[in-house]
């Protein structure tokens, strides 16, 4: 719990009534967490694993056509917050999410909303490439098939091709579409997973340390791809690499012990952090 003096010191905006009354459970975020034209809007999001609070009152927008990176020391809640954005936390026993998360204005936690189509609209790419034990073609075709996105084999073939092209993998696999996805290199497998995500027409792509299992060359290819994908999607990426955050993202959010400490233009965060905790982290004094 912060002292009032600390809380005021860390606050750029007005303090809420509950904060003034001493009921502070989260640190106020430094920087503007809103954007003019949000694709996703999160407000006062708390996440609990049983009695342990992993995310504390986080508010954050994700813009159209931006890459937002989420950084912070291990255990600060980056992945937990990312998983809230497509209700992946629903699958974890004892995990409870409160607050509001909207996609194009729609509350994604509304009881009437089916999380399965939501996870097509807000797709996820994981740390370790996880192709299905099926052919390259089937890895990409699976989603469109279960979501009924195409009417016939010709349309499905075209969708598989366009998804693999957008993921920058088509030229490398077009002559072996019937071979197992698991037979590709790590970097190719990750691009296959990105193609699989793209195939179901997402609006947002969540990436949880997508390059941590890749070598530097495969990382560079995926980073280039992330930049290209921004033209069509909103992307939120969790990364341990500050260099990667600086290379791929336009805005950066710094988390610490479940709080969103600071958010702003990536360049500003890395060259002129406003919060001491952000500065300590990016200068390597912490984390």
Ligand X SMILES: Nc1ncnc2c1ncn2[C@@H]1O[C@H](COP(=O)(O)OP(=O)(O)OP(=O)(O)O)[C@@H](O)[C@H]1O
Candidates 76-84, 157-165, 195-203, 268-276; binding stretch for ligand X (CB under 6 A): 76-84
Q: Tabulate helix, strand, coil % of the chain (nearest 5).
A: 35, 25, 40
Q: Does 92 sit near ligand X (CB under 6 A)?
A: yes
Give whichever of 76 and 253 is closer to ligand X, judged by the CB atom: 76
Cα angle 157-144-118, degrees, rounded to a multiple of 5 = 155
Residues 6+ apart with CB under 8 A from 81: 45, 47, 55, 58, 60, 70, 255
Number of residues counted as binding ligand X (CB under 6 A): 11
Indicate whether 79 belongs to the interface with ligand X (CB under 6 A).
yes
For ligand X, the closer of residues 77 and 168 by Cβ is: 77
Smallest distance, ligand X to C-beta of residue 234, A: 20
When asked if residue 96 is in the footprint of ligand X (CB under 6 A), the reply is no
Instruction: Candidates 1-9, 69-77, 212-220, 275-283: pick the segment binding ligand X (CB under 6 A).
Output: 69-77
- Residues 48-67, interacting with ligand X (CB under 6 A): 49, 54
| Residue 124 in contact with ligand X, rule: CB under 6 A | no
For the four alpha carbons of 99, 102, 105 and 111, in that order, the dihedral sign comes to: negative
Is residue 13 exposed (0-12), middle (13-18) or buried (19+ Cβ within 10 Å)? Answer: exposed
Nearer to ligand X, 163 or 252 (CB): 252
Contact predicate 282/270, CB 8 Å:
yes
Q: Does 75 bind ligand X (CB under 6 A)?
A: yes
**Considering the complex, what minimum distance in angstroms separates the CB of residue 259 from ligand X?**
12
Alpha carbons 92 and 83: distance in angstroms, whole number: 10
76 binds ligand X (CB under 6 A): yes
Residue 254, both tokens? 């710094």
Buried b (16+ CB within 10 A) or exposed e, 158-186: ebbbebbebbbbbebbeeebeeebbebee
Interface stretch with ligand X, choices 4-12, 17-25, 29-37, 73-81 (CB under 6 A): 73-81
Q: Is 74 in the site for ligand X (CB under 6 A)?
A: yes
* Residue 11 CB coordination number (10 Å): 17
Nearer to ligand X, 55 or 195 (CB): 55
42 touches ligand X (CB under 6 A): no
**Nearest distance in Å: CB 55, ligand X:** 8
CA–CA distance, 230 with 203 (Å, rounded to integer): 10
Q: With binding defined as CB under 6 A, does residue 78 bind ligand X?
A: yes
Asked if 256 touches ligand X (CB under 6 A), the answer is no
**Do residues 168 and 178 make contact, with C-beta atoms less than 8 angstroms apart?**
no
- In terms of CB distance, is 180 or 287 closer to ligand X? 287
Residues 200 and 149: beta-carbon distance below 8 Å: yes
The window from 74-82, 138-146, 169-177, 221-229 that contacts ligand X (CB under 6 A) reads 74-82
Contacting residues toward ligand X, per CB under 6 A: 49, 54, 72, 74-80, 92
């Amino acid at each position: 719990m912060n002292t009032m003096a600390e809380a005021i010191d860390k606050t750029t905006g007005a303090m809420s009534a509950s904060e003034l009354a001493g009921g502070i459970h989260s640190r106020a975020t430094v920087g503007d967490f809103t954007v003019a034209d949000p694709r996703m809007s999160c407000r006062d999001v708390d996440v609990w694993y049983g009695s342990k609070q992993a995310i504390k009152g986080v508010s954050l927008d994700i813009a159209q056509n931006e890459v937002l990176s989420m950084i912070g020391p291990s255990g600060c809640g980056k992945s937990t917050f990312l998983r809230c954005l497509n209700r992946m936390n629903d699958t974890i026993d004892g995990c409870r999410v409160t607050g509001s998360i909207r996609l194009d204005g729609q509350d994604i936690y509304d009881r009437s909303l089916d999380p399965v189509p939501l996870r097509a609209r807000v797709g996820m790419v994981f740390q370790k490439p996880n192709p299905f034990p099926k052919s390259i073609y089937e890895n990409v075709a699976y989603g469109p098939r279960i979501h009924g996105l195409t009417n016939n084999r010709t349309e499905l073939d075209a969708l598989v091709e366009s998804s693999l092209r957008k993921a920058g993998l088509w030229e490398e696999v077009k002559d072996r579409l019937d071979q197992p996805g698991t037979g590709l290199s790590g970097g190719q497998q990750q691009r296959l997973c990105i193609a699989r995500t793209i195939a179901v027409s997402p609006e947002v792509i969540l990436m949880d340390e997508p390059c941590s299992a890749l070598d530097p060359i495969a990382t560079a290819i995926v980073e280039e791809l992330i930049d290209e994908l921004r033209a069509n999607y909103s992307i939120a990426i969790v990364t341990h690499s500050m260099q990667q955050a600086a290379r791929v993202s336009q805005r950066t959010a710094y988390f610490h012990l479940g709080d969103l400490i600071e958010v702003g233009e990536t360049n500003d965060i890395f060259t002129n952090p406003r919060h001491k905790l952000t500065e300590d982290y990016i200068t390597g004094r912490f984390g």
